[in-house]
Amino acid sequence: MQDVIASYYFRPRSDTKPEQAAQAICEEQTTGTWTDISTRAEYVKRFDGSVESLVKQGEGYLARIRYPAEIFEPGNVAQYLSVVAGNLFGLGRLDSVRLMDIELPDTLTRFKGPKFGIAGVRRLIGSKDRPHVGTIIKPKVGLNPEDTAAVAYQAAIGGVDLIKDDETLTDQKFCPIDRRLPLVMKRLEEAKDETGREVLYAVNISHRADQIIGRALHAIDLGANMIMIDLFTTGFGALQALGEDPRIKVPIHVHRTMHAAFTRNPEHGIAMRPLARIIRMLGADQLHTGTVSGKMSHDAAEVKASIEVLKCACAGMKPAFPVSSGGLHPGNVAHEIATLGTDIVLQAGGGIHGHPDGTAAGVRAMRQAVDAYMDGVNAQEYAKDHYELERALRKWGAV
């Protein structure tokens, strides 16, 4: 493949034929405009997009549109998105349009991808084939550094693999990074002395793009063993800078806060799949992809499609770790793993800290639910000999 192929689902306006609507996307995103212009030289036509296929799908149509590779600036992902996901969402000839996926030629995918990937993160933790269990510091904002570190310690002694800040916690006065991060890492070292287990802490360094590298390096100097970025609020360029900087020698955890503003509507906006493809390409080691049984709106097919592009063989890049999060608890662990596989991070906040016996017990219950699945045992049966899991199932039930 030499050019870019973008797939769109759309519904044309009632007075517009589907062929006209698809052509309108081509023209808007390449060389066309709403009226005849005197500046459109003949040689420009070679940069026109073209409709490769158009098929009826449900109430709308699925179109595959080819964009000449020459109209893309290699390495400039912001510009890539301006072509495949630009003004088309406001076109009057379309009642709705959704970018479903993109296919990029090798000339436009010369990115390094994840520095660690699934295998690299597993080496840090010391795991083989089981799902990882993660948690979020809760409440997401408000705790002081000492209490944040205390929660992290409880999670660590319970057996968690990953602890992360939530999306709204960065470097506020009530819990500054300079105080929070060293305290958390100190308590994790204490837990490691007791348990022998390594725990990653993804500190949220989200900030303006021109300062993101400085904040990341400062966090690493303070002892960070993982960093986290709010991708859609911080920007693709910020992630690209982190992914390409050789000084960033810790895994990058990507939170997708704000994604539903453009991914939730099944007929309009952008599906998570093409975004996941780009995020992996730019260097994410972990990315939130959603659950199939949690509190957020979810579509199992879409979640699996996102995971597929994070893990597929692609341009020599390492696969990225999908993160299932949003309303998880021990009772829906088996359903998540059965649907999404074992190369997954099961990220539970309330489903851990809300355990009747506290955070450490909540982590143990999650780990027991994972062990039950890996041993081929029903969670309710396993709970008969595992107190923490039994207490969790009694509170939240099982899917």
Which pLDDT belongs to residue 163?
98
Give yes or no for a cis peptide into 330 (omega within 30° of 0). no
Structural domain spans, the chain: 4-108, 117-396
Look at residue 316 in the predicted model and tell me its pLDDT. 86
Of the candidate CATH numbers 3.40.50.620, 3.20.20.110, 3.40.50.300, 3.30.465.10, the domain formed by 117-396 belongs to: 3.20.20.110
Report residue 69 as tokens.
């590779």
Which of 203, 211, 207 minimizes the C-alpha distance to 228?
203
307-364: pLDDT as tens digits: 999 999 887 899 999 999 989 999 999 999 999 999 999 999 999 999 999 999 999 9
The pLDDT tens digits of the residues spanning 251-288 come to 999 999 999 999 999 999 999 999 999 999 999 999 99
What's the pTM value of the predicted model, to 2 decimals?
Answer: 0.95
Distance between CA 255 and CA 266 in Å, rounded? 21
pLDDT value at 199 more than 80: yes
Distances in Å between the Cα of 26 and the Cα atoms of 21, 33, 45, 262 are 9, 10, 12, 21
Confidence of residue 48 (pLDDT cuts 50, 70, 90): confident
Please, are residues 227 and 216 in contact by the beta-carbon 8 Å criterion? yes
The phi and psi torsions of 65 (rounded to 5 degrees) equal -120, 130
Which SS3 state, helix, strand or coil, does residue 37 take?
A: coil
* CA 368 to mean position of chain CA atoms: 25
| Domain 4-108 belongs in CATH node 1.10.10.60 | no
Written as six digits, the tokens of 57 are: 């799908």
pLDDT at 33 over 90: no
Q: Tell me whether strands 269-270 and 286-288 are parallel, antiparallel or unpaired.
A: unpaired
Residues tagged active-site? 138, 255
Q: In what order do the strands lie in the sheet with 269-270?
A: 50-57, 60-67, 4-12, 94-103, 269-270
> What is the largest distance, in Å, between two alpha-carbon atoms of the chain?
79
pLDDT of residue 296: 56
